[in-house]
Amino acid sequence: MRNPLSKKVVEIKPSGIRKFFDIVSEMKDAISLGVGEPDFDTPWHIREEGIYSLEKGKTFYTSNAGLKELKEEITKYLKRRCQLEYDPAQVLVTVGGSEAIDVGLRAMLDPGDEVLIPEPCYVSYLPCVTLADGVPVTIELKAENEFRLTKQELLDAITDKTKVLIMPFPNNPTGGIMERRDLEDIAEVIIEKDLFVISDEIYSELTYGQDHVSIASLPGMKERTIVINGFSKSYAMTGWRLGYACGPKEIIDQMVKIHQFAIMCAPTTSQYAAVEALRNGDDDVAAMREAYDQRRRYLVTRLNEIGMPCFEPKGAFYVFPCIKDFGMTSDEFATTLLKEQKVAVVPGTAFGDCGEGFLRISYAYSIENLKIALDRIEVFVKGLKK
């Protein structure tokens, strides 16, 4: 029999997180600080709207790019929260932010085009670039810069084949953000070198102490940027699978084409629920943000007390402490911690090689759970220091 598989697909490395998931799953009564999704339930009024749409029999396809009402609400929301002005025709509603990343890359890349990916980062950018026949080029972000992308790092990575830069901020796994002045430096290079940006802003609502700035809101950047956002993190709607992309109409039109053939349309029930989220969900977002902020401070303070130094993350719901002093790899540390104290955290290497020496700890957990987990981590670390 012939080999049924595509070489390109077979050569893609499986996600590093998968391996760790398998180990954790076999461990009974482990406490996990390993998830990348909110612990809150979707606010009831949003769920109720989804149920109501089902009761009314709204169970058909929507138009390919998404419900008209939803696209309108998205444009109003982006204006209100990110100072971004889009026409509803520049919006594509997708199956989660993940689909928007995939479709965006496929719409923009020709074989051999290079895509710059700052690491550590979310696990899907690299394989999505490969699947779109692009060439992923990683940029190692540094702890001393609080995992921001600097102008020099960007310049050093650019070649004549470079076409797209992925901007994953606020960042999973580091919790790092890019402030306006950081973005201005980047925008300057992007314009000068005639590049495009795919800006994954899925954590835009979860910044602490300052509002998120979208790179697309800087002068000259809107026509070069695809903004990706969604409902999973801000409204605790991960399972609804709903995100969106906004950008120049010529790019969005091509993205709609791929989306139309691959997906048809995003789930109708989720779209109705999302309309309610955007219309009446601001207070829910604020309340969740405040809860995350309290947990964030709790976690950072305790980790520093324990002797696991970490910079203060200003976004998302992760902290990224350094464990280099303990003489173990991230993988060894995480595995031993799991075996000895039954606490699951994710080795930084799951998010790129430069995550070596770090761990991702999620604070999408109640303070009570964080307390128990941190008590156990403290015992573990004390044992190591003896």
Partner 1 sequence: MKEKLLRAIDKNSKLSPADLSRMFGVTEEEIVTMIKELEDEKVICGYPTLINWEKVEQDERVTAIIEVKVTPQRGQGFDRIAERIYKFDEVADVYLISGNYDLVVILEGKSMREIANFVSDKLSPLEAVLSTSTNFVLKKYKEHGLPLVGEVKQDERMLVTP
Burial class (CB in 10 A: 0-12, 13-18, 19+), 1: exposed
* Residue closer to partner 1, measured from CB, 152 or 294: 294
| Residue 17 touching partner 1 (CB under 8 A) | yes
CB of 123 to partner 1, least distance (A): 5
* Residue closer to partner 1, measured from CB, 211 or 305: 305
Beta bridge partners of 360: 346
**CA geometry: angle 193, 228, 197, nearest 5 deg:** 5
Residue from the set 172, 174, 270, 330 that interacts with partner 1 by CB under 8 A: 172
Contact criterion met (CB below 8 Å) for 354 and 119: yes
User: Parallel, antiparallel, or unpaired: how do β-strands 318-319 and 359-362 relate?
Assistant: antiparallel
**CA geometry: angle 120, 128, 122, nearest 5 deg:** 25
Residue from the set 116, 350, 354, 361 that interacts with partner 1 by CB under 8 A: 350
| Residue 6 touching partner 1 (CB under 8 A) | no
* Residue closer to partner 1, measured from CB, 22 or 156: 22
And the tokens for 32?
């996990």
| Residue 163 touching partner 1 (CB under 8 A) | no
> How many residues make contact with partner 1 (CB under 8 A)?
30
| Residue 233 touching partner 1 (CB under 8 A) | no
| Residue 210 touching partner 1 (CB under 8 A) | no
And the tokens for 86?
């889009």
Closest CA to 98 of 51, 168, 47: 168
Residue from the set 52, 64, 279, 298 that interacts with partner 1 by CB under 8 A: 298
And the tokens for 259?
């989306």
| Residue 170 touching partner 1 (CB under 8 A) | no
- Give the integer Cα–Cα distance in Å for 289 and 122: 21
Residues found near partner 1 in the complex (CB under 8 A): 15, 17, 20-21, 24-25, 30, 32, 34-37, 39, 122-124, 172, 290, 294-295, 297-298, 301-302, 344, 346, 350, 367-368, 371
